[in-house]
Homo-oligomer: A and B are copies of this chain.
Amino acid sequence: MAPNGVDPNEPRSVRAEEVYGPYPKNCMTPWKNSRDEGREGDAVDVENLKEIAAQNFMELPCDYRDKGTPDDWIPRDGRMVRLTGRHPFNAEPLLPELTKHNPKNPFLLPANLHIIRNHGTVPKLDWETHTLSIEGPLVSDPVKLSMDELTTTYPTTEFPVTISCCGNRRKEMNMIKQTIGFNWGSAAAGTNVYKGVLLRDLLKSVGVTAESVADMTGSFVEFIGNEDLGNKCGGPGPFPDEPWAEKVKYATSIPLAKCLDPADEVMVAFQANGQRLHPDRGYPIRLVIPGYIGGRMIKWLTRIRVIPHESHSCYHYWDNKYLPPQVTAEVAAKDGWWYKQDYIINELSLNSFINKPAHNATIPLAANIDKTMVVSGYAHSGGGRKVTRVEVSSDLGVTWNLADIDRKEQPNPYGKYWCWVWWYYDLPVAQMGKELWVRAWDTSNSPQAERPVWTLMGQSSNHVFRVLVHTETSPDTGKVVYRFEHPTQAGQQSGGWATRLAGKVKSAGYGEINLASYVD
């Protein structure tokens, strides 16, 4: 029997394994077989480990780099690029890893290759003891649910969602001028099929509906995780009830309307690609907000509160803001920019990426000049908007050629799209220019901007993606080749034309950035 207020017959779209499957299984590759080969570590039997990963990835051994950290109980894929040292764990795969597992259909990424953004130590939670409470001043009938109650008494839903950190491509921003964030590359995004309970069903069961709140636009749903994190704020903010303890929980909020709108599908998820969530990714439950940035999708979800204001957590305010480029860290703190509502980043931005040719890939000219080569990559939008067009330019944006879009996603009943698309363009090699550019369009009928806009947090970095083309003689073969150079390589890895911009860009991303003049 469904909980009070929940209509089990209401249509809940399930777009799952029969549509997108079979799901890619976890195929964890320990560090020994990654680019770290040669470093010290335990010897491993890779084939055996892959078998274990497919059955229960929690039985895999830990990465040697996690030894001595509070996370040394967590099996991790050795291919993930670590962006913030050993701990906390923030990682993305190399860009080519997004397709290697299934070059012809990279739509669903194996869960173990999915971007991870951890602010601190990963909470060690049990399915049997973890609870989710739904409470707050606008909740008439608060509840505390066990995981079994959550997952067996409520109707479930299942569909794919692309989750991306809005810091994706931040390293490009850091090369223009240092932001206050670390170096995400271009693969801080991934698509998994999530299974869970619709938040609006949970809210209905505690009496929260469009009719129950007096002021819907003034009502928010706050989500609180389980970590104990350092307080980001140096002193009291504008709210008397802001938590000022040394340690706080990660928390944020989104508008109640986003949670109640049947066109949206905010979900409390307990599975990705048919398996339990990985501890780094929120086990046992996390929030999934289709069309929003990853930063709002609280992991290790513990409390949901319906409140008559935005969350007062410092993590809600002092992060995920798209401030104007002239706002420095000092100005932001002094003039209250972190609290200005219009600069919040909720929706994922329209963005596109070139995966092939890969960074430093080459093709010999003589053997290919009469042929075409495949340029391909991914693109996504936010807010449910469909990516309607992807275009490639090999002449610095003078002409744009339509790429083929491989649209695997089926929209939800309200026509919303939550996932990346993969695109492919056959470029006649004879039309190779000095750069390869890609841009996407969505149903709002605006393309990505050409010039980058620098911001203090380096987020929503979504200008046209540019790959530089070098014509040079291969030291290996003595033949003339095109060599392709991506803007950056994630984290501390060297390489990428944007790294040569550092310190040379006029106006710090306000606009005057003639990239071409710096990269040749």
**Which one of A45-53, A393-401, A475-483 contacts B?**
A393-401
Whether A263 is near chain B, meaning CB under 8 Å from some CB there, is yes
Residues facing B in A378-422 (CB within 8 A) are: 381-383, 385-386, 388-389, 391, 393, 397-400, 402, 411-415
Measured in the bound complex, the distance between the Cα atoms of B173 and A399 in whole Å is 16
Interface residues of chain A: helix, strand, loop or mixed (majority): loop
Give the size range of A's interface with the partner. Answer: 35 or more
Whether A149 is near chain B, meaning CB under 8 Å from some CB there, is no
Contact of A449 among B255, B349, B450 (CB under 8 A): B450
Whether A489 is near chain B, meaning CB under 8 Å from some CB there, is no
Whether A6 is near chain B, meaning CB under 8 Å from some CB there, is no
Task: Count identical subunits in the complex.
Answer: 2
Residue numbers in B under 8 Å from A400 (CB-CB) = 324-325, 510-511
A515 to chain B, nearest CB (A): 14
Task: Decide: A415 and B217 in contact? CB cutoff 8 A.
Answer: yes
Task: Decide: B445 and A322 in contact? CB cutoff 8 A.
Answer: yes
Task: Decide: B450 and A347 in contact? CB cutoff 8 A.
Answer: no
Task: Decide: B342 and A388 in contact? CB cutoff 8 A.
Answer: yes
Tell whether A415 pairs with B347 under 8 Å between CB atoms, given A444-B382, A511-B399: no
Task: Decide: A211 and B445 in contact? CB cutoff 8 A.
Answer: no
Residue numbers in B under 8 Å from A386 (CB-CB) = 342
Whether A448 is near chain B, meaning CB under 8 Å from some CB there, is yes
Contact of A443 among B347, B411, B449 (CB under 8 A): B347
Residues of A near any B CB (own CB < 8 A): 9-11, 210-211, 216-217, 255, 257-258, 261-263, 322, 324-326, 342-343, 345-347, 349-350, 381-383, 385-386, 388-389, 391, 393, 397-400, 402, 411-415, 443-451, 453, 460, 462, 506-507, 510-512
Identify 11 residue pairs between A and B in the complex whose beta-carbon atoms are under 8 Å apart, listed by A's number: A11-B211, A217-B413, A261-B262, A261-B263, A381-B444, A383-B383, A383-B443, A397-B451, A398-B507, A444-B444, A450-B451
